Amino acid sequence: MANALHMLDEAAVDFAKEDSAFKRMRHVAEIFECLALMEPSEKIVQHVARTLERLRTVWTVVGDISRKLQMAMELLWVDLDGAVLEDEAKGMMNLVKSAGKEKEIKDSNVYQGLEALAHDFLVSCPLYQALRHPSIQSRHWVELMQVTLLIFETRRLLVQQTFPNPIDHAELKFADIMELKLHRFQKDIEDLTERAQKESQVELALQEVDARWSTISFDVTVYKDTQVPILRVRDEDIEVLEADQVMLQSMLSSRVQYFKGLSEAWSQKLTYNELIYAQMYANQGAKVILTACTARPHQLQELATLTTSLQKCQNSLIEFLDGKRRLFPRFYFTSEADLLDILSNGGTPDAITKHLSKVFLATQTFKFDTPSTITHFVSNVGKETIRFVAPVTLSGKVEGYLTDALNGMKLTLKENIKSTIRRYPQLSRTDWLMSRTNDGALLDAAQVVLLVSGMEYVKSVEAALVGVGSGHVSALSELLEKVTIQLNDLIKLTRGSLHDEERQRVMCMITMDAHSRDVIQSLISQHVTSLASFVWQAQLKPR
């Protein structure tokens, strides 16, 4: 620094001599009226003057920054204020930028070195601040030194280059930390400090868990008028247990590995606590019952006899229910309690309708003409009502008449599908979809309509593919036009007034028709001409 300013002073003296000589020559040129010949020299002299002035400014900034850095380097690491340091670094950077406004100065070695110094210091300041965070422990400095190829003084590691641990050495100065050139490891330090802060949060949470559970205890009471002690866990302690278990599971699923062992240990302890509480309540319940049972003489013998009888009853009941399930296999899908309710109320068919959705697929209830005759079954999807082809009598054993009802439902749907297929070519597609009975109900169930629509679509596509294979090259294009028209007709329906059940089936048909249109477009674009083509066969797999 001093040498540079001395050289600038010498250059200024030399320049002053040259400037005086230039002025004399310029005066002579003015006398001989040839000032134009002096213009190139004048520009050079002016440029040298500006350059010397700017270089002096740059070196003055170098001196200012050097003094500031020297003052900072004398600070103890433990006393360092990262925020103040960063403000100083920003001020240094502004000084550097103000001194390098001209291109020739920016290209100079001194400016580039000064800019690199200020930039590296500015980049390092947030890293210094992060490393001053309370979450940074000795282990993090060890890891940092391994990243920077410096190893702390430890007995376990071979010392390549010693560096005192800032946590344990309060006398460490900021200059020692600056020697690490931490700006070269910005990403590593950011990752390390972020992880350290997360570890600190986990550590604090584990300390809070330990503090909570060191004070939680059982409440002790006695059972009624007896002397039987009862242990009880407070409701708020159960809530704490559940909350801590959730928190520990979150810790175990995080990327913080340092406290994983301790987190697992606490998770296991709390799991044991939960099991102990459950077993304790079960044991105490049994203890209370046994205490009451042994209050009278010979009561234990009576209980043993009753237990044997109850076991026989239970085995007989299981055999009975299995027999009913074999007779009507859909009972396998009901719980034991529901099945018992169905069997016990089998003589009153109306009483078992609440269980029909558990026995029959998508069936909510039956409509009764008489207490033992049903005429309709009602879907629990969209609440559609469908009339049986013939009324079904619900009499006799419950498994028998439910089998009759199931067969009646199958027959009804089969006949409805046949009727719907026959009517499809006789009506426009929208009229066919919205057909109603004399009493105003929709004629066909929505699922029947969707099934028949899919069947007709497959038939039409396969007929078009056969036509293409036979030479009718526009068959698929004509079908695409037809499907598009059908789709547009359905869209027009939605713009009118529709009941909820009508709108639902129309929307389902629109979804299917849009998919059908896309499939036909794909067949055309891929030049499919055969029924055996994979592009078409892939659409026919069961869904």
- pLDDT of 104: 66
Statement to judge: residues 115 and 166 lie in one domain: no
204 shares a domain with 230: no
Look at residue 466 and tell me whether its pLDDT is greater than 70: yes
* Whether residues 464 and 407 fall in one domain: no
Query: What is the pLDDT averaged over residues 120-129?
Result: 79
Alpha carbon distances (Å) from 116 to 5, 87, 184, 198:
21, 17, 12, 33
pLDDT at 288: 72
The residue-averaged pLDDT of 451-471 equals 91
202 and 236 in a common domain: no
213 burial (CB, 10 Å; 0-12 / 13-18 / 19+) is middle
Write down the pLDDT at residue 461: 92
In a domain, 331, yes or no: no
For residue 543, the model assigns a pLDDT of 47
Number of neighbours of residue 97 by Cβ within 10 angstroms: 13
Contacts of 409 (CB under 8 A, 6+ apart): 360, 363, 377, 388
Q: What is the pLDDT of residue 157?
A: 43
Q: Pick the closest to residue 361 from 326, 410, 323 (CA basis).
A: 410
Rounded to whole angstroms, how far apart are CA atoms 172 and 168?
9
The CATH number for 365's domain is 3.20.180.20
Q: What is the pLDDT of residue 418?
A: 93
Which pLDDT score is estimated for 8? 60
110 pLDDT more than 90: no
Q: Dihedrals φ, ψ of 392, to 5°? A: -110, 130
In contact, 58 and 101? CB cutoff 8 Å:
no
**Residues 6 and 116 placed together within one structural domain of the fold:** yes
Contact call for residues 56 and 86 (beta carbons, < 8 A): no
Any domain includes 12 = yes
Q: Which amino acid is at 224?
A: K
DSSP H helices in 332-428: 336-344, 356-359, 398-423
Residue at a domain's end among 84, 103, 132: 132
Residue 228 and residue 251 in one domain: yes
Residue 269 token pair: 């302890």
How much is the pLDDT for 412?
Answer: 92
Q: What is the pLDDT of residues 208-244, one digit of tens each?
A: 989 888 888 888 887 776 677 788 888 888 888 889 8
Tens digit of pLDDT for each residue in 255-300? 788 888 888 898 898 888 888 888 888 887 777 766 766 666 677 6
**Interatomic CA distance for residues 103 and 118, integer angstroms:** 19
Read off the pLDDT of each residue in 108-129 and give the average, rounded to a whole number.
Answer: 78
d(CA 30, CA 34): 6
State which of 214, 240, 264 marks the end of a domain. 214
Distance of CA 24 to the CA centre of its chain: 82
- Residue 543 inside a domain? The answer is yes
Separation in Å, CA 204 to CA 135, 208, 253:
10, 6, 17
| pLDDT tens digits along 360-389 | 988 889 999 999 999 999 987 767 888 899
Per-residue pLDDT, 14: 64
DSSP reduced 3-state for 6? helix
CA atoms within 13 A on the CB side of 259: 22
Q: In 3-state terms, what secondary structure has residue 259?
A: coil
The verdict on residue 298 lying in a domain is: no
Q: Is residue 317 part of a domain?
A: no
Q: What is the pLDDT of residue 162?
A: 54
415 CA to centre of own chain: 49
Domain holding 373, by residue range, is: 347-423
Q: Which of 423, 440, 467 is the last residue of a domain?
A: 423
Residue 201 sits in the same domain as residue 242: no
pLDDT in tens, 288-320: 766 766 666 677 677 788 888 999 999 999 999
**In contact, 536 and 527? CB cutoff 8 Å:** no
| Residue 323 falls inside a structural domain | no
Return the half-sphere exposure (C-beta side, CA atoms, 13 A cut-off) of residue 29: 14
Q: Compare 152 and 56 and report the one with higher pLDDT.
A: 56
**Which tens digits make up the pLDDT trace of 476-528?**
999 999 999 999 999 998 898 888 888 888 999 999 999 999 999 999 999 88
Residue type, 431: D
CB 491, CB 510: distance < 8 Å: yes
- Mean residue pLDDT of the chain comes to 82
- What distances in angstroms separate CA 138 from CA 166, 168, 194, 255, one per listed residue? 8, 8, 15, 20
Question: Are 222 and 193 part of one and the same domain?
Answer: no
In DSSP terms, which residues pair with 76 in a beta bridge?
Answer: 173
> Cα separation of 198 and 258, whole Å?
10
| Residue 186 phi, psi dihedral angles, 5° rounding | -55, -50
pLDDT confidence bin for 542, thresholds 50/70/90 = low
Helix (H) or strand (E) holding 440: none
| 300 is a domain residue | no
- Give the number of other CB atoms < 10 A from CB of residue 160: 9
Cβ proximity of 382 and 445 under 8 Å: no
Residues 9, 116 within the same domain = yes
Q: Are 163 and 41 in a shared domain? A: no
Reported pTM:
0.48
Q: Do 356 and 443 fall within a single domain?
A: no
Q: Write out pLDDT tens, residues 152-166.
A: 444 444 444 456 677
Asked if the model's pLDDT at residue 443 lies above 90, the reply is no
Q: At which residue do the structure tokens 């699922």 appear?
A: 447
Sign of the torsion angle spanned by Cα atoms 46, 47, 53, 56: negative
Residue 177's pLDDT band (cuts 50, 70, 90): confident
Residue 91 pLDDT > 70: yes
Q: Do 285 and 177 lie in a common domain?
A: no
312-363, pLDDT tens digit by residue?
Answer: 999 999 999 999 999 999 999 999 999 999 999 999 999 999 999 999 988 8
Residue 378, SS3 per DSSP: strand
Q: Which of 382, 384, 342, 381 has the alpha carbon at shortest distance from 367?
A: 384
Q: Which two tokens stand for residue 453?
A: 């629509």
Number of domains in the chain: 5
The residue type found at 524 is: I
Amino acid 21: pLDDT: 72
Strand duo 373-379 + 229-232: pairing: unpaired
DSSP 210-249: HHHHTT---EEEE-TTS--EEEE--HHHHHHHHHHHHHHH
327 domain-assigned: no
Mean pLDDT along residues 13-27 = 69
Higher pLDDT, 101 or 172: 172
Q: What are phi and psi of 68, to 5 degrees?
A: -65, -45
**DSSP label at residue 393:** E
Comparing C-alpha atoms, which of 373, 321, 384 is closest to residue 350?
373
What pLDDT sits at residue 156? 40
What are the pLDDT digits (tens) for 407-440?
999 999 999 999 999 999 999 998 998 888 887 7
Distance, in Å, from the CA atom of 51 to the CA atom of 483, rounded to the nearest integer, reads 82
Does the pLDDT at position 83 exceed 60? yes
